C-alpha cells in the first residue's frame, strides 16, 4: 500500500512505495531536539511530488543532510550514506523519512524502536 506524507504547509509531499514496518526514535543530540520518528527507505521507494521549500542543516562531520521545510519548519527527512559495511557508502544513500508527516496513517499501529544515539555516537 502506498503511504502519502506531507509537511504542514504542503511544500513537501511524498509517497512511500511500501508501509513502514517500524519507526525509530533516537535520543542523540539532534534527534531529541527535532523530534522525528524515522522510517528508513532507499531512494527508489520514495517519490517526491513536491520538495519546494527544502532547507538543509548539516553539522559535525557533515556526513548527513538533515532536511526541513523552510516555510512551515517541519522536520522532513534526512539523507545519509549507507553504513552497513561500517564505512559511509555515498553511492547507496538511505533516506530517513519523518513518519510523523504521514497522512491518514496510524503510526501508533507500528512498533517504535528506541536507539541510544546519545551514547552510541
Please give the residue ranges that form the binding site for Zn ion (CB under 5 A).
Answer: 7, 9, 11, 69, 71-72
Identify which of residues 71 and 88 has a Cβ nearer to Zn ion in the complex: 71
Quick one: 96 or 98, whose CB is closer to Zn ion?
Answer: 98
| Cα separation, 66 vs 57, whole angstroms | 5
Minimum CB separation from Zn ion for residue 33, in Å? 18
Measured in whole angstroms, the distance separating CA 55 from the mean position of its chain's CA atoms is 14
Residue of 24, 27, 36, 37 lying closest to 118 (CA atoms): 27
Which residue, 18 or 49, is less far from Zn ion as judged by CB? 49
To Zn ion, the closest distance from the beta carbon of 94 in angstroms equals 23
Place of cell 553511492: 91
Which residues share a beta bridge with 12? Answer: 51
Question: Shortest distance, CB of residue 6 to Zn ion, whole angstroms?
Answer: 8
DSSP state of 88: -
Q: Which is nearer to Zn ion, 46 or 72 (CB)?
A: 72
Amino acid at each position: 500500500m502506498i503511504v502519502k506524507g506531507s509537511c504542514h504547509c504542503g511544500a513537501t509531499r511524498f509517497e512511500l512505495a511500501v508501509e513502514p514496518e517500524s519507526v525509530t526514535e533516537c535520543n542523540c543530540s539532534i534527534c531529541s531536539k527535532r523530534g522525528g520518528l524515522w522510517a528508513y527507505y532507499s531512494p527508489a521507494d520514495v517519490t517526491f511530488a513536491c520538495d519546494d521549500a527544502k532547507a538543509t542543516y548539516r553539522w559535525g562531520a557533515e556526513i548527513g543532510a538533515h532536511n526541513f521545510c523552510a516555510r512551515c519548519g517541519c522536520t522532513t527527512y534526512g539523507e545519509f550514506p549507507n553504513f552497513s559495511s561500517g564505512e559511509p557508502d555515498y553511492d547507496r544513500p538511505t533516506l530517513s523519512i519523518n513518519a510523523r508527516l504521514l497522512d491518514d496513517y496510524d503510526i501508533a499501529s507500528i512498533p517504535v524502536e528506541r536507539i541510544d544515539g546519545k551514547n552510541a555516537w
